[in-house]
Amino acid sequence: MISVQPEAEERRAHKRAVRQAFDRAAASYDAAAALQREVSARLADFVLAHAAGPTPRRILDGGCGTGHGQAALARLWPQAERIALDFAPAMLAHLPAGAAARLCGDLESLPLADASLDIVWSSLALQWCEPATALREIARVLMPGGRAWIATLGPETLWELRAAFAAVDDDRHVISFHPLTHWLESAAYAGLDCSAQDGSRVYAQATDLKRLLRDIKQIGAHRTGPGRRRKPLGRAAWSRLESAYERHRLPDGSLPASYDLILLCLEKPA
């Protein structure tokens, strides 16, 4: 009899739930993904500020979603062959025709040969992964001298929402994000050198909390992590949440949600 570690089983169930959430979100994703477009643009600027070296031949867009990164990749490296990978088939189905070769697969177990890529680009996908596992895979598929350009999220992401939920109950309602130090340690452990890093804030805004949460949900970002499912909030709890969030309302009348953006350039030593 094979005994499955409860933690491993919980992680698998969580991954399945994240994939299903993104599959369900695919049709509405583009309309709610202003923040993703902004992050792709910042990652492209980061590449322009730090990239040098030979023209890459093959690039992976890891966790490509509906393909927001494709236009930036085509501008940055027009000659390169592009592979767009995502584990949610419905996301891949929305990729513009002819943009890239589509590959359904997991960032934590890439269906690609060792040393087969010059560049890995990954914008807002790796925060759903275990950093050590995903970076080990990225290191494996990169050629020596290859680089990974990564945009991911740090622990201050959605802090307003976390603080507002704390006024409601002690449950964990908002996903936790790894700090920069954890990414850097995992990169070093995977054999990748960090040759550039940057941090900044990006904000989503909506007129009210319902819309803000709907946008977070529509981009599939509402899973909290492994563990039991929570019951929906009752009316009294919702109203406590709304009033706790009100203290963040900006002078222009909008409610913000902060995203703590981490940009990394990780290099596989030549």
Ligand X SMILES: C[S@@+](CC[C@H](N)C(=O)[O-])C[C@H]1O[C@@H](n2cnc3c(N)ncnc32)[C@H](O)[C@@H]1O
What mask of x and - would describe binding to ligand X in positions 219 to 238, judged by CB under 6 A? x-------------------
Query: Which of 76, 124, 216, 255 contacts ligand X by CB under 6 A?
Result: 124
For ligand X, give the closer residue by CB, 212 or 244: 212
Q: Minimum CB separation from ligand X for residue 202, in Å?
A: 12
Rounded CA separation 200/218 (Å): 23
Strand (E) or helix (H) holding 14: helix 6-29
For the record, the structure tokens of 255 come out as 């409610």
What is the number of the residue whose Cβ is closest to ligand X?
Answer: 65
What mask of x and - would describe binding to ligand X in positions 129 to 148, judged by CB under 6 A? x-------------------
For ligand X, give the closer residue by CB, 103 or 192: 103
Name the one range near ligand X by CB under 6 A: 58-66, 93-101, 157-165, 224-232: 58-66
Cβ burial, residue 146 (10 Å; 0-12/13-18/19+):
buried
Listed as own residue / partner, the contacts of 111-117 with beta carbons closer than 8 Å and 24 or more positions apart are: 112/60, 112/83, 112/141, 113/141, 114/140, 114/141, 115/140, 115/141, 115/142, 115/143, 115/144, 115/146, 116/58, 116/141, 116/143, 117/58, 117/59, 117/60, 117/83, 117/141, 117/142, 117/143, 117/146
For the record, the structure tokens of 4 come out as 């499955």
Q: How many CA atoms lie within 13 A of 109 on its CB side?
A: 4
Residue 186 engages ligand X in binding (rule: CB under 6 A): no
For ligand X, give the closer residue by CB, 63 or 154: 63
Residue 157 engages ligand X in binding (rule: CB under 6 A): no
Name the one range near ligand X by CB under 6 A: 44-52, 104-112, 136-144, 230-238: 104-112
Q: Minimum CB separation from ligand X for residue 174, in Å?
A: 15
For ligand X, give the closer residue by CB, 63 or 146: 63
Q: Minimum CB separation from ligand X for residue 35, in Å?
A: 9
Distances (CA, A) of 220 to 148, 215, 265: 24, 9, 26
Which parts of this chain interact with ligand X (CB under 6 A)?
18, 22, 33, 36, 40, 63-65, 68-69, 86-88, 91, 106-108, 123-125, 128-129, 219
